Amino acid sequence: MQVFNTAARLTEFIQNNKAQNPALKLGFVPTMGALHAGHMKLLHEARAKSDLVIVSVFVNPTQFNDPKDLDRYPRTLEADVQLLEQNGCDAVYTPAVEDIYPNGTHTPYSIDFDGIDNVMEGAFRPGHFKGVAQVVERFFELVKPDIAFFGRKDFQQVAIIKQMVKVRQLPLQISEVSTARNTDGLALSSRNTLLTPEQQEEALIIFKTLSNAVEWAKKTNDAAILKEKLVAFFNTGTLRLEYLEIADNLTLQPVKQIVPGCTCCIAAFCGTVRLIDNMSLEG
């Protein structure tokens, strides 16, 4: 496995491989590190669908609206590289901020998200999705993948990236991979490393609430009634709820009726750690 920390060396590696195999299919998995089994699920999916797999490890400063959250974000590069090598990654790109933002992190960036950036995460984390789209577009520019792989745990982020690809008319496919979970149901997240064992147990209220959403949606199609019941159940736990929404999969706007094609999304604080999760409702 090759490890690159500059765009120039990465580009040379990609060009050499494509020169040897012009039909090569390049798979790309962008990450912010602190890798876990969820990331490896993305890597294995990329391995199955690609000839060459590149993973990036970069904590992107432009998507953090809270500087303290950026400082707290776990960084485990040495362990990440070892895990990627063990799981069949071909190359890892670990750039410095200057390599991704040669003109500085305040480089102007704008794109029409068609309103999907104004709800849920977008409402509570101003500028977050602009930073996400900015860094992902930059990675696509450098890596030029045929397929990029993202986890469905970041439901809204996937929608944002699909919209960015559509607006920019980029020649690549976005592959959405189902959420990886612990055996107890807790969605795997790099932020879980910041939780105590007791907090990880308390955080299960998120999964339990989402599981109830799936079951209770079979008995009512009134989203307001369902949301009220889910919030009441969630509040029997110890986490502080930031939002619980039942959203349309395409527009991400809150729905009034539960129909196939909507998702229950939750963001909550376990202590100081912010966790998100979601689950599709069949209606």
Torsion of CA 151, 156, 161, 163, to 10 degrees: 140
Judged on CB neighbours under 10 Å (0-12, 13-18, 19+), 229 is middle
Q: Per the structure block, which two tokens stand in for 176? A: 């959405």
∠ CA 113-119-122 to the nearest 5 degrees? 70
Q: Decide: helix, strand or coil at residue 44.
A: helix
Quick check: is 39 catalytic?
yes
- For 247, how many CA atoms within 13 A lie in the half-sphere containing its CB? 23
Name the catalytic one among 36, 39, 44, 106.
39
The burial class, CB within 10 Å (0-12 / 13-18 / 19+), for 11 is middle
Q: Is 43 helix (H, G, I), strand (E, B) or coil?
A: helix
Question: Which residues belong to the active site?
Answer: 39
